[in-house]
Structure 1
């Protein structure tokens, strides 16, 4: 699918994977709408030609308004990317007792329900556009994690939420096939995002040493390149692609 002349909406667009994706899409000629929480947008490094919209992905009405803004511009909405996510850790049974059910619900709400919200709301708008010569209207990219397959100690909430994203990918692609919309998911390994910047260098080095090859942390720009590849590859649909350097996570 041609990127230039289209509109794209990216949640979690203020930092990390989302910010790198916003930059790559904008540099490729798309009119990009970066969606994030107000506090995150205040800290964001702004990119020329990108419109920044405040919305909480767990709030259906807020996100609907943001997607409407992206869809009502001069360029047709063709691309949606879910990058918003959180990753607090807690064990089922820890020193403070049983895993906080409110925390579990919050993680699932942001990572899984938030992904569903963008998937459904963007699909509604993309389906209303004119198809290209191959009958294609757009593509939606979700973000899971290798934790969906190899969740570690303390990741029950995170792994469950990302496993849900993997699980919805194929049925969503089948649901939206009649509308000419593809759905894919990226499952990154350990990415050098601002969240990782809070970890000391010694621990970062140990994490990198656990990756078979390349023996380093992934870069947000590599995630963004994979998004562009999925957009460009019209036959890639209903698939979850691991981007992890052949990493398989140990229990801890």
Structure 2
């Protein structure tokens, strides 16, 4: 993903600074964590919002479905639109969604917020290839590995963080604090990320269609997809 043409850097082949790589890693972890805050809190949120027990799993499922929707229909925009602006806008949408979850008065409002949290959190999969595009081949593996490490830490720490905050201040505080954190992150990303404009030599529709073409024509991709599907299913269970 991402064939860049314009980067606001004196030397586009220079490796990104340690500070910028750290920002990428921290941002991906913080954004990805939003996908998992509700998982340990279902037993608190569902009765508080009068959500019937058989439907309580929707609190988690809709967030993941939203994320999948974002991966399919928003992440390809990273090959068409200026990346920094796109990422900041998605993080801004996450702020709105988290705030809505924090003040939800009923289950319908929370479920809608959960769906939007998932959709907007797909920004992490624009940040990762952006980091790769800013990095020369010689150190790209190390940089992308560091960024992915931040993402994994965010996923792993989200559930204990949510449990501790909910124990101390209630489940609404989890989403409220995250909304504040995401607002600060959006400002930081706007100030620190370089501009990156991809080549726009293809249409949005052709990009979406290419996803399915790649799946059909690339056996390695199919195998890796099957592995990760199994791994993610096991992790979620």
TM-score (norm 2): 0.30
Q: Which has the larger helix fraction? A: 2
- Please state which structure has a larger fraction of its residues in strand: 1
Task: Provide TM-score, normalisation by structure 1.
Answer: 0.29
Which protein has greater RCO, CA pairs closer than 8 Å, 6+ apart?
2
